[in-house]
Amino acid sequence: MTQLKYRLSRLNQYPFMTVGLIVIMVLVYGAMTLAGGSTNVNVLITFGAKVNVLIQQGEWWRLFTPIFLHIGFTHILMNMITLYFVGIQIEAAFGHTRFLTMFLIAGIGGNVASFCFSDSLSAGASTAIFGLFGAFLMLGESFWQNPVIRQIARTFMAFIIMNLAFDIFTPGIDMAGHLGGLIVGFLVAYTVGVPRIGKVSVIKRIVATIVLIVGLVWLYLHGMAQ
């Protein structure tokens, strides 16, 4: 029994959600490569890239599927490296279920923002990864008195600023998606809470949840009306 509990404890500490997401995305990338190439527009559309006009025609799942698609080898390589190193930290702090919830909702939220503010075809896990950055900012705001968390939050704030500055000067980057994912990740982190570290104000959690829901609904309806 003691050995079983030890194994279960080790399994609980293993970042299997992060690793699982990476495996899925690599497999999807391989399937896209075999289908004609991940930079092929027709392949991207077939696999579920964000295309505004198709979403407006009822293909709402295109707000979800782009999270798992990548355009070219460099794109998936950089995103998977970032996801691994950021994901294992967030998964350890929030727990497996909360981590996956934040990742997916932030990814969808970023794509909704992109749908509202950008007409370009887009794909990639960046919207969800920026949501994990937002979760780090939530930890920094909620547990600022903890010197370790405070230092990590400062480091990620600098990292976020550098990434957004890079986005501004790089053509083809989905800035709306990145900012949307960042904000949604920040809000949903309050919604799910982080009991492994400490309690978060109930008022903050309620306000964040309301802002999150109202904001996403407004962005979606605005995008549909364009």
| pLDDT tens series, the chain, 226 aa | 454 444 445 556 789 999 999 999 999 999 999 999 999 999 999 999 999 999 999 999 999 999 999 999 999 999 999 999 999 999 999 999 999 999 999 999 999 999 999 999 999 999 999 999 999 999 999 998 888 888 888 887 887 888 778 777 777 788 899 999 999 999 999 999 999 999 999 999 999 999 999 999 999 999 999 8
Q: Is-contact 49 66, C-beta < 8 A?
A: yes
Task: Give the domain range for residue 173.
Answer: 2-225
Query: Does the annotation count 126 as an active-site position?
Result: yes
Query: How far is 220 from 223, CA to CA, in rounded Å?
Result: 5
Total domains in the fold of the chain: 1
Task: Please state whether the predicted TM-score (pTM) of the whole model is above 0.75.
Answer: yes
Distance CA 195, CA 93 (A): 9
Pick the catalytic residue: 126, 142, 201, 222?
126
Active site annotation includes 178:
yes
Residue 128: closest CA among 79, 67, 169, 64: 67
CATH (domain of 218): 1.20.1540.10
Q: Which of 70, 114, 118, 178 is catalytic?
A: 178
